[in-house]
Amino acid sequence: MSKASEVNILEISPKDRLFFTGPFTEISKTHITLKNATFKSIIFKIKTTEPKKYCVRPNQGIIHPQDSAIATVILQPIEEEVLTNCQGQHKFQILYTIRDNDQPSKSVEELWLVANPALVFHHKLRCFFESPNEAEQRKKLEELKTDVINHKDALKLISELRSKIDELKKENSKLNISVSETQKRLNLALKPSQFPDLLTYIVIALLGWLFAKFVI
């Protein structure tokens, strides 16, 4: 059976831990979100190591391209003392594979019967149990981690923008120097030459000499 890490066709949330919040003398519910990241249909199946303690609805199904499915996981009422030593021991396994579009319309059970084992991927979730206060603290911590990540991403973006601005400033400085040099060359090219004035003086002097010679 293939490992889920080998491909990224199904986005699973939560990724590795499934939390249940007490009191556990009553039914406790949580959810698993499955998002199809492909442009083909995916069939899935959810199994548990403790089928007598949990109920999953739906426990299998088809997820259409770019669509999502939400499975509700129900923990049956149980004495909290029983769960004390069970942190991380109860597990859920999500099996999934891409549906062969060439297959005729079949039920999910029939599709699993003809699925290629080499193309079946799996993902595991471990179960953890917490009090309402612990659940609140965990959610606050997750929000804080998200804020830190967003803050780091923002700082990284600012740093990249500053670096880009510095590069643009350097390019602009080079451009200004180039424009200044071009302007100087243009001014020299357009500056009136002194040669015509000198020629004028020579012509006047020559005419004056000729005039004096022939008139006198």
- Please give the average per-residue pLDDT across 10-31, as a whole number: 94
Residues paired with residue 182 on neighbouring β-strands, in sequence order: none
Of 130, 151, 169, the residue at which a domain comes to its end is: 130
Looking at the structure of the chain, the number of domains it has is 2
The residues near 125 (Cβ < 8 Å, ≥ 6 apart) are 12, 14, 16, 17, 18, 32, 91, 92, 93, 94
Residue 149 class from Cβ within 10 Å (0-12 exposed, 13-18 middle, 19+ buried)?
Answer: exposed
- Do 141 and 168 belong to one domain? yes
Instruction: Name the DSSP letter for residue 193.
Output: P
| For residue 193, pLDDT beyond 60 | no
- Please give the average per-residue pLDDT across 98-123, as a whole number: 86
Residue 71 falls inside a structural domain: yes
**Confidence (pTM):** 0.64
Domain span at residue 164 reads 134-190
pLDDT value for 60? 96
Confidence of residue 214 (pLDDT cuts 50, 70, 90): low
Of 115, 130, 145, the residue at which a domain comes to its end is: 130
Please name which of 115, 18, 117 lies closest in space to residue 75, comparing C-alpha atoms.
18
- Do 93 and 22 belong to one domain? yes
pLDDT value for 94? 97
Of 3-12, 19-28, 194-203, the range with the lowest mean pLDDT is 194-203
Residue 35 falls inside a structural domain: yes
Question: In degrees, to the nearest 5, what angle opens at C-alpha 192 toward C-alphas 191 and 194?
Answer: 125
- Do 66 and 80 belong to one domain? yes
Is the N-terminal amide bond of 51 cis, ω within 30° of 0? no
- Do 72 and 179 belong to one domain? no
- Do 14 and 73 belong to one domain? yes
Of 82, 104, 130, the residue at which a domain comes to its end is: 130
| For residue 104, pLDDT beyond 50 | yes
